[in-house]
A = this chain, B = another copy of it.
Amino acid sequence: MSVPERYVISLRAGNRLRPVTASRTEQRKAELRREIVAASFDCFAEQGYHATGIADIATRLGIGHGTFYRYFDNKRDIVEHVIDDLIARILAALGEENAPDAVSTLEDYRLQSARIGEAVANLIGADPRVPRLLLLEAPGVDAELRERVLDFIESMTEVTAAYLAHGVELGYLRGDLDVVQSARAINGMILGAVIHGVRHHDEDSQATLARAIQRLMYDGIAAR
């Protein structure tokens, strides 16, 4: 699954591909940074962005709240990093699935989309706070962050569109498919599933929903 450039970058900047030779202090610093992001994530998820004070984050970590400001510019800065981190995590989770051009038959495609569906389900199952924060909390922080989230959603649509285009090309998807808009529709279903998963963590529900989505995708609802 190919991924828009900016997220790749932030992914790398996040924690990978660092120069292997990081000094002791630098490692500590990077770790504390990550811990602050994690603690902030916890706080935001528990109480919401606006109800969370910098002091809450610091206290949770057992650090002075002045320390926070050594690592992030201000409250706005941290929420941005938390969200970017979430996006990076999601992309990482999805990115492990194969690329759009890795399949060549409808059956393969079914399997692939099932895998992706499962990845999404796992993501939610592993931590329902992730979609909740990303989709329900972040857009309410301010206009910029809302745009950021919408950008992310759109970028996912592009990915899906690429999958569909590949399928049309190879002939196992309808030739008259409006790939972009269909991608939007399909991602809407996933979005709906994710939002449903925010409250209903039970695996069964997730599984049946996933199956329903897939049946709908391939067969539609009309009786034959």
Contact = CB atoms under 8 A, between A and B. Distances in A.
Interface of A: 48-51, 106, 132, 135-143, 146-147, 149-150, 153-154, 164, 167, 171-175, 177-178, 181-182, 184-193, 195-196, 198-199, 208-209, 211-213, 215-224
Contact of A150 (B147, B184, B195, B224): B195
B142 A182 contact: no
B218 A220 contact: yes
Given A173-B222, A189-B192, A223-B174, A181 B208 contact: yes
Contacts of A51: 142
Contact of A216 (B132, B140, B217): B217
Given A174-B219, A178-B212, A219-B222, A150 B198 contact: yes
A129 to B, nearest CB: 12
Given A48-B143, A192-B189, A195-B150, A182 B216 contact: yes
How many copies of the chain does the oligomer comprise? Answer: 4
A181 B153 CA distance: 22
Q: A-side binding surface: helix, strand, loop or mixed?
A: helix
23 contacts: A50-B50, A137-B139, A140-B140, A147-B199, A150-B195, A164-B221, A171-B223, A173-B221, A174-B219, A175-B223, A181-B211, A182-B212, A184-B193, A185-B212, A186-B216, A187-B192, A188-B189, A188-B195, A191-B192, A192-B192, A216-B216, A218-B221, A220-B220
A185 B209 contact: yes
Given A140-B141, A211-B178, A216-B182, A106 B223 contact: yes
B184 A223 contact: no
Contacts of A193: 184-185, 188
A61 B49 CA distance: 29
A220 B216 contact: yes
Contacts of A208: 178, 181
8 shortest A-B CB distances, which residue pairs?
A140-B140, A188-B192, A181-B212, A136-B139, A220-B220, A188-B189, A218-B222, A219-B220
Contacts of A189: 185-186, 188-189, 192
